[in-house]
Amino acid sequence: MLKTIDIDNLVRPNIRNLNPYRSARDDFEKGLLLDANENSLGAPVRNQLELHRYPTPTHNKLRKKIADWRQVDFENIFLGVGSDEAIDLIMRIFCEPGQDSIITTPPTYGMYKVSANINNLGVKEVLLTESLQLQTGKILEQVDDQTKVLFLCSPNNPTANEMKRTDLLKLVSQFPGIVVVDEAYIDFSKQESMAGLVQQYPNLVVLQTFSKSFGLAGIRLGIAISNPEIIRYMMKVKAPYNVNKLTAQTALDAFDNMDLMKFNIEKILEEKEYVAEQLRHADEVEKVYPSDANFLLFKIKNAKEIYQKLADRGVIVRYRGNEPLCEDCLRVTIGMPDENIRFLKTLKEVLV
Ligand SMILES: *Cc1c(COP(=O)(O)O)cnc(C)c1O
C-alpha cells in the first residue's frame, strides 16, 4: 500500500487560510526601533542581550546550528518552548476539535493524551506488544477519516526501549496522516535518528529536545524536524516570540561545548550499566527492562509501597504501575555517581 500525502489537504481549513500575526521584528530587526513599544531605556537588570528588545521571531542562527548538527536544512527546523509546544501545535494544525482523533501507543509519554484532551480530540490507544514493540497492523486498522496524527516515541518513555526501525518506517510510509516520532532520548541510544528522512516522507515530524541529552531542561527548548511545508505551518501558528533570548543564547553556547555534552552522555550510559547490574542482583527485582535512554524501568514486588518508602527517605523515583504492561514498575533516572549509589543503598534499606 503506497500512499501520496497532500499536507495542505490534511491541515484544518482555518489554519490553511490563516493570516498570521506579523510582529514588528518580522519587518525590521535593525535601525532606530520605535515600532514595538519596548522600553528603550533598558531593564533594571544587567544583561548582554538587549533584553529590553523583543527576540527574533525566527531564530535563524540557532536553527542553522541545529540543522548542521542534525544534517538537515534550516528550513526543516522548528523551535518551540519544549517539545510540548510542538506536540500541541501539531494537534492544533491538523486536528479539528470535537471531531478528529490521534493514535497513541501506551505505555508511552503522557503529554500526547493530555494535549489531545486539552484540544478536545479523540485518543485511540493501541497498546505495545508484550515485548514492548509496536503493533503496526493494529495501528493501521484503527485509522478512519478522522484519524489525523500518530504519536510514536523511540526510545520510548517509560519503557526505555527503542521501537524497531522497520516498524517506524512501515508506519511512516503507510499511515495516511502525520506521523510524529518523538526522539527525546535519541542521543542516549545507538538507533539512527529519523531526522534524515523528513525530505523523503512529507508526513514525518521528528521531535527532539534540549531537555535530556543537552541537560538543559530549564531553558525549555524543543525541536521539531520536518519538511519545510509543515515547518511553515508551525511557524505560522506559534506565538510570535515563543523562544526567548536567554534560551536561544544558552542553546548557542551549548554548541560551543559539545565535547562535554558527549562526555556526559557516555558517563550516564556507563552509570546506567552499573545501576542496572546492581538492580539485577537484588532478589526482589523481578526484571530490569532493556534501556536505550537515560533511565531504567524495573519491576519489583509491592512497587507502590517501595516508591513511597523511597520518597519518605528523600529518594524520588517515578511509580509507573498504573500504566498498561507496567504493573509493579518503577522508573529511575540515572543521576550522578553518588546519587546512584544513594538510590541503590536506600532501595536496599527499604527492602529489608
Ligand atoms: C522528557 C520528554 C520530552 C521533553 O519535553 P520538553 O517539553 O522538550 O522538555 C519529550 N518527549 C518525551 C517522550 C520525554 O520523555
Tens digits of residue pLDDT in 181-232: 999 999 999 999 999 999 999 999 999 999 999 999 999 999 999 999 999 9
The mean of the pLDDT values for the chain is 96
CB 84 near ligand 1, within 6 Å: yes
CA-108 nearest atom, ligand 1: 13
**Structural fold of domain 259-351:** Aspartate Aminotransferase, domain 1 (3.90.1150)
pLDDT at position 5: 84
Q: Which amino acid is at 110?
A: G
CB 155 near ligand 1, within 6 Å: no
The residue nearest atom 11 of ligand 1, judged by CA position, is: 184
CA of 211 to the centre of ligand 1 (A): 7
CA of 139 to the centre of ligand 1 (A): 23
CA of 249 to the centre of ligand 1 (A): 21
Task: Determine the residue of 78, 79, 81, 83 to mutate for testing ligand 1's pocket, defined as the one with the most ligand atoms within 8 A of the Cβ atom.
Answer: 83
Q: pLDDT tens, 313-327?
A: 999 999 999 999 999
CATH, domain range 10-257: 3.40.640.10
Q: How confident is the model at residue 29 (pLDDT cuts 50, 70, 90)?
A: confident
d(Cα 235, Cα 338) in Å, to the nearest integer? Answer: 43
pLDDT at position 1: 45
3-state SS class at 319: strand
The residue nearest atom 15 of ligand 1, judged by CA position, is: 157
d(Cα 130, Cα 49) in Å, to the nearest integer? Answer: 51
Q: Which amino acid is at 162?
A: E
CB 184 near ligand 1, within 6 Å: yes
Average pLDDT estimate for 284-312 = 98
CB 222 near ligand 1, within 6 Å: yes
- DSSP string of 21-41? ---HHHH-SSSS--SS---TT
CB 88 near ligand 1, within 6 Å: no
Residue with the bigger pLDDT between 296 and 1: it is 296
Is pLDDT of 4 > 90? no
The residue nearest atom 5 of ligand 1, judged by CA position, is: 83
The residue nearest atom 14 of ligand 1, judged by CA position, is: 184
d(Cα 325, Cα 100) in Å, to the nearest integer? Answer: 27
Domain ranges of the chain: 10-257, 259-351
Q: pLDDT tens, 247-277?
A: 999 999 999 999 999 999 999 999 999 999 9
- In 3D space, the residue among 150, 154, 209, 159 whose CA is nearest the CA of residue 177 turns out to be 150
Share of the chain above pLDDT 90, in %: 95
Average pLDDT estimate for 56-63 = 97
CB 211 near ligand 1, within 6 Å: yes
The residue nearest atom 10 of ligand 1, judged by CA position, is: 184
CA of 285 to the centre of ligand 1 (A): 27
CA of 220 to the centre of ligand 1 (A): 10
Is pLDDT of 3 > 70? no
pTM for the whole thing? 0.97
CA of 56 to the centre of ligand 1 (A): 24
Is pLDDT of 23 > 90? no
CB 247 near ligand 1, within 6 Å: no
CA of 105 to the centre of ligand 1 (A): 16
- DSSP string of 48-112? SS-TTSPPPSS-HHHHHHHHHHHTS-GGGEEEESHHHHHHHHHHHHH--TTT-EEEE-SSS-THH
pLDDT at position 244: 98
d(Cα 310, Cα 317) in Å, to the nearest integer? Answer: 8
Tally of CA atoms within 13 A in the half-sphere of 271 that contains its CB: 24
Residue with the bigger pLDDT between 352 and 344: it is 344
